[in-house]
Amino acid sequence: MEGLIYAYGAPKSAAQQKFTQERLAAIAEQRERRTLGQDRGQALERTTSNSSSLTVAPGVRDTITITRDPSYGEMDYARLPPPTPSSNSSSQSEIAHHNLLSNPFELRHGRRYLRELPYPLPVDLHEIQRQDLQTLLCTKVFGKLVCSPNVKEKGLERVLEIGCGSAYWSAMCHEYFASLGADNVSFTGLDVAPLAPDLKKQGVNWSFVQHDLRRFPLPFEDEHFDLVMMKDMSLVLPEGMASQKLIDECIRVLREGGTLEIWESDHVLRSLLPHPPAPMKQQVEQEAATKTATFLVAAGTPFAPAQNKYLQQANAWIHEALNRRKLPPMPCSRIGPILYQEPESLANFGSRRVAIPLGELRWEGAKHSRHPSDVPQGKPKVSEKGQKALTLEQAAIRQTALISVLQFIENLEPLLKEASGKNTDEWSNWWASMMADLLDPSQASLGGECLEIGAWWATKRTEDV
């Protein structure tokens, strides 16, 4: 798969103004629907739409269309523990659990959410597209679908994606392994809600298991999987015992020598400061960063608080809202230490952290735009300081990171309104001002803000290690 997808429209200033007006009209319509109690996510009554595509900005030649079949993946209900009459309380708990799995959705704020769960984001089409967009962004920046060098396609038989959502990563991973000749790898998706399509119809050896991740143990046998992937799970379970139990369960279901990999992104943004490139042990990682115009994050990489006033405000509200719910605003700083606490079970630790600028970095020295149609086609030009301007693909990566951040803020609206103390009209005005500021290239109001993403991995120890 080549190219990146844009969820927001045309890059020119006049078109940006038109977009802002259309966006304001859409917000007004959305709020009217919410007032009437209508569900904006009707396209996701039981799954995603028959053929849902993210729109592509003019000037982008390579595109990807995400298409989903309307049917669910095969659900393995046999693995769900049936209610047991061992006691009144346990029986009631099992009944409540099965009721949740049979009807996991509820309508709140005019959007579809998970019922009885602390997960703060909606689970409608708009949010699922954002998650798929960010997954695609990560694969472009990492340059691969699995970052761990310990994963070899030969001998790989079973893969588990925890919190699979739409199973977009599993579908891409199947294509990747199949291209290497490993076309018999089986994929299992685990989630509380059946949002994934039936990947069997796309030729994937696929099964879906519906399970509430707050309940342990996970419904799998010991040492069953060769690879376990957890992606964007920081808002699913609160910090503390629940998160640690999930890591323990991942280790339990991994075979000896199997790999646990975790992808995550920070929810609070920082600004990257000018710094010389640090020497890296892995030349491949540095080459990927150079190719994508992103920056590898090391212990000494200099950051400052966000400079843009709207992102400063959003940061403060996100921090407060997530802290109230014991969810980590900056999970990238905690995943490594959690894995390192398992030296008796895990080995071959590794990690990779990347900062993706949301727009132009003034100190880069190149006069480029964050909008792809303003980027020259063909060979990139060189600035007066001898530095290359962004290529089309590099500009696309930065624009996509900005879109992902804006959609995340939008989808956290109920929590951020509460944290900010704003009423509906005040929030609409703030949102419109932020969009006009960040999406108009003439404003140039970004001060080095970056979306920080990371991948961490380790292998389960064998008796010989």
pLDDT for residue 94: 83
pLDDT for residue 171: 97
Distance CA 403, CA 435 (A): 10
Does pLDDT of 102 surpass 80? yes
Highest mean pLDDT among 37-51, 296-310, 385-399: 296-310
What percentage of the chain has pLDDT greater than the value 90?
Answer: 63
Residue 88 binned pLDDT confidence (cut-offs 50, 70, 90): low
Alpha helices for 150-282 (secondary structure H): 168-179, 241-253
pLDDT for residue 78: 40
Q: Which H or E run contains 315? A: helix 309-324
* Contact assessment for residue 262 and residue 346, using Cβ atoms and an 8 Å cutoff: no
Residue that the structure tokens 């119809």 belong to: 201
DSSP strands (E only) in 74-122 = 105-108, 111-114
DSSP strands (E only) in 200-332 = 205-210, 225-231, 254-265, 270-272, 295-296, 303-305
pLDDT for residue 49: 35
| Contacts of 266 by beta carbon, 8 Å cutoff, 6+ apart | 329, 330, 331, 332, 333, 451, 452, 453
Report, as an integer, the average pLDDT of 69-94: 53
Mean of per-residue pLDDT scores for the chain: 82
Residue 30 binned pLDDT confidence (cut-offs 50, 70, 90): low
Helix axes of 424-439 and 309-324: crossing angle, nearest 10 degrees: 130
Does pLDDT of 414 surpass 70? yes
Q: What angle do CA 212, 331, 172 make, to 5 degrees?
A: 65
pLDDT digits (tens, 9 = 90+) for 346-392: 999 999 999 999 998 888 854 433 344 444 444 444 444 445 689 99
Does pLDDT of 133 surpass 90? yes
Report, as an integer, the average pLDDT of 283-292: 90
Residue 281 binned pLDDT confidence (cut-offs 50, 70, 90): low
Does pLDDT of 38 surpass 80? no
Q: What is the DSSP string of 355-407?
A: EEESS--GGG-----SSGGGSPSSSPPB-TTS-BPPPHHHHHHHHHHHHHHHH
| CA 379, chain centre distance (Å) | 31
pLDDT for residue 399: 95
Highest mean pLDDT among 97-101, 278-282, 396-400: 396-400
| CA 302, chain centre distance (Å) | 24
Does pLDDT of 107 surpass 90? yes
pLDDT for residue 387: 53
Report, as an integer, the average pLDDT of 325-352: 95
- Both tokens of 453, joined, read 């993403």
CB atoms within 10 A of CB 102: 8
Q: What angle do CA 236, 241, 245 make, to 5 degrees?
A: 75
SS3 content of the chain, % helix, strand, coil (to 5): 40, 15, 45
**Three-class DSSP category at 217:** coil
pLDDT top residue among 463 and 138: 138
pLDDT for residue 276: 77
Report, as an integer, the average pLDDT of 285-306: 93
Does pLDDT of 64 surpass 90? no
pLDDT for residue 220: 98
**Three-class DSSP category at 162:** strand
Highest mean pLDDT among 36-50, 356-370, 430-444, 450-464: 450-464
pLDDT for residue 89: 65
pLDDT for residue 14: 56
Does pLDDT of 74 surpass 50? no
Domain limits, the chain: 13-74+101-460
pLDDT for residue 235: 97
